[in-house]
Structure 1
Amino acid sequence: MKTRLDYHSKNPAAFNALLQFSQYVAGTDLEHALIELVKIRASQINACAFCLHMHTRDARRAGESETRLYLLSAWRESSLFSPRERAALLWTETITQLTGQPVSDEIYNEVLEHFTEEDLVDLTVAIGMINVWNRMNAAFQLAHPHDPMELAS
């Protein structure tokens, strides 16, 4: 796939605003590993290869296991995810797949059992942030890097 438009250079102000958005998320009290799982799950749903490449690499570097990464798209059927992670993944899928229907009270209350209200705001911001990055990269077909060392292993 060939990149349609290099949005980094065509509109640096917009790109920098996205970076500031990302820096806010990185500075929250949410666990880094949890944020990476959320980024990966949203990127799976949105089929953003660039973000999947980046965030699975970042998660592995931060100590995430290959097994959990492989099973992330089937988190409901796996016992490898904690109740808090499961709640975050449920919220990620719910917010990422808004299709003109409201978020149910049942889902909201289930997720709120595992997060403070402040953390739930930050989690929702994190999900919104990765969805913006996914949409930018999908719209402009930003290609993921091709690292020969990764392909050989």
Structure 2
Amino acid sequence: MKLRLNYRTASLQVFQAMTNLQKASSDSSLDIVLQELIKIRVSQINGCAFCLDMHAKDLMKHGDYGNHIVLLNAWREAPIYTEEQRAALALAEAVTLISEQGVPEDVYAEARKHFDEKEFMELILAINTINSWNRIAISTGMFPGCFS
């Protein structure tokens, strides 16, 4: 595998914009485990190996979440996820695949049962931020270990 280009050096403006977006997303009140689950699930949908590798490792720094990572692709059938996590994962999938059916009312309503307006917007920011990172990583040919 070969990195097409290094996004970090190709455009300082883009790098700074993404860094600012990531900082805003990371500074949210959302649980860090939830944030990492969102990042992993969205990266699974988008097929971003670089982000899957990074965020699976990041999640494991917060405890033994190996089963959460392994079962994430089938989270609806796995009882280890909380209702809050399920609501966030459903929203993450809907937003990531928004061209298919938008965000269905039932997905929105379930998310709002668990997250107030501010938290809901923090979820939207987190979902959109990882989608942006996935698209940068895939477009530039990033892969696990490409910057090592």
Q: Same fold (TM over 0.5)?
A: yes
State the shift of 1:64 in Å: 4.1
> Runs ≥4 in structure 1, deviation > 4 angstroms?
none
- Per the normalisation by structure 2, the TM-score is 0.95
State the shift of 1:5 in Å: 1.2
State the shift of 1:118 in Å: 0.8
The CA deviation string for residues 47-77 of structure 1, in whole angstroms up to 9 with x for no partner, is 1000001000000011142111100111000
* Partner of residue 69, structure 2: 69
State the shift of 1:101 in Å: 3.2
- Identical positions, percent: 37
Distance 1:29 1:4, change over 3 A: same
Unaligned runs of at least 5 residues, structure 2 = none
Q: Give the secondary structure class of the aligned counterpart of 1:93.
A: helix
- Per the normalisation by structure 1, the TM-score is 0.92
In the alignment, the residues of structure 1 paired with residue 56 and residue 20 of structure 2 have an alpha-carbon distance, to the nearest angstrom, of: 22
* Partner of residue 92, structure 1: 92
What's the C-alpha RMSD, in Å, of the aligned pairs? 1.2
The CA deviation string for residues 86-137 of structure 1, in whole angstroms up to 9 with x for no partner, is 0000000000011253322221111111100110001000000000000000
* Number of residue pairs the alignment of both structures matches: 146
Distance 1:68 1:102, change over 3 A: closer
State the shift of 1:7 in Å: 1.4
Unaligned runs of at least 5 residues, structure 1 = 147-153
In the alignment, the residues of structure 1 paired with residue 19 and residue 79 of structure 2 have an alpha-carbon distance, to the nearest angstrom, of: 34
In the alignment, the residues of structure 2 paired with residue 103 and residue 26 of structure 1 have an alpha-carbon distance, to the nearest angstrom, of: 23
Letter in 2 for 1:143: F
* Partner of residue 24, structure 1: 24
Question: Is 1:125 aligned with 2:115?
Answer: no
